[in-house]
Amino acid sequence: MTTSGFICGLDAALAVIGGKWKPLILFHLSHEARRYGDLRRAIGNVSDKMLIQQLKELEADGIVDRLDFKEIPPKVEYSLTAFGQTLAEALKPLCAWGTEHMIEVEKLMSRRGASEVEKVA
Amino acid sequence: MTTSGFICGLDAALAVIGGKWKPLILFHLSHEARRYGDLRRAIGNVSDKMLIQQLKELEADGIVDRLDFKEIPPKVEYSLTAFGQTLAEALKPLCAWGTEHMIEVEKLMSRRGASEVEKVA
DNA sequence: TCCAGTATGCACCTTTTGGTAAGTATCAAT
DNA sequence: ATTGATACTTACCAAAAGGTGCATACTGGA
């Protein structure tokens, strides 16, 4: 079925920001443009493969801009497009919600992990 | 490492609403409480296993309330908790963004699928 | 009596996603 | 000459997410 129709806008939005590192990428790029390696270090424990992959998708989706300086030790800068910035705007309240309830959510998530451990034990 | 610490609130929020059917569930329950089968039909093409699983997680996360009427043809009603309603609020702008750009996003998504088809062809 | 509807559980399998480790080309510094 | 940094690619593998189908216990309707 090619009817990939979304029911509520939430579906559409999540189709774009779904992906383990995309929220972080959005987060870091919302402040300023960043070079690849820079962004990589900022996020911390991403593999190259993953970061590149997610950046490519975001680029294909018109969320981020890739600026290749064509220099010979490679230099590439990533930034949010205007479209990406509208997304970042729309994400702010959700980000705020998450920040506000972060402790609670962390407890919930560790509980999920814990119950899985119980099954093993 | 058990440091499941989120970097930005986005991570925390997405840990809660991540899951193929959760956005839809939130969406439908934000209007009113619904019986299980009712909700199921509203969503359309979910399997029982998935819907139940996602509902259980949302329940465990304190987002939805499960009201069992203990009747003998089973009757159970799901609704948003107060906490769940704060989430729903925070999601509104994102939902609006998705609705606004839905056509664009649908094109993007079908393009993703198309390029995968190219690889096969 | 037999089937449908109710909400849910369980076993199994496929698809998707994420991760690891290696390799590429080019230059600067050691 | 080797090493390290740059941005990125590829092949291979593990884990997680999702899907299918069957089973349950009980009732009401055909």
**Strand, helix or coil at B21?**
coil
Residue B77's H or E segment, with its range, is strand B76-80
Nearest CA in chain A to B58: A108
Residue B120 has pLDDT above 70, yes or no: no
Nearest CA in chain A to B113: A2
pLDDT tens sequence across B26-65: 999 998 999 999 999 999 889 999 999 999 999 999 999 9
Domain B9-88 has CATH 3.40.960.10: no
pLDDT tens sequence across A9-39: 999 999 999 999 999 999 999 999 999 999 9
Q: Which amino acid is at A31?
A: H
* CB within 8 Å of B23: residues ≥ 6 apart: A8, A10, A11, A14, B17, B91
Question: Is beta strand B34-35 parallel, antiparallel or unpaired with respect to A64-68?
Answer: unpaired
Give the start-to-end residue ranges of the domains of chain A.
Answer: 9-120
Q: What was the pLDDT predicted at B115?
A: 60
Question: What number of other Cβ atoms are within 10 A of residue B100's Cβ?
Answer: 15
Is B116's CB less than 7 Å from nucleic acid strand C? no
Q: Which amino acid is at B71?
A: E
Domain A9-120 has CATH 1.10.3720.10: no
- CB-CB: which of A9, A24, A61 is closest to B95? A9
Look-up of token digits 């402790």: A103
Higher pLDDT: A116 or A80? It is A80
Instruction: Report CA-CA distances (Å) from A79 to A25, A36, A90.
Output: 10, 10, 17
Residue B15 has pLDDT above 70, yes or no: yes
Q: Which residue is nearest to nucleotide D27 (CA to C1')?
A: B73
CB contact under 8 A, A8 and B27: yes
Q: What was the pLDDT predicted at A115?
A: 60
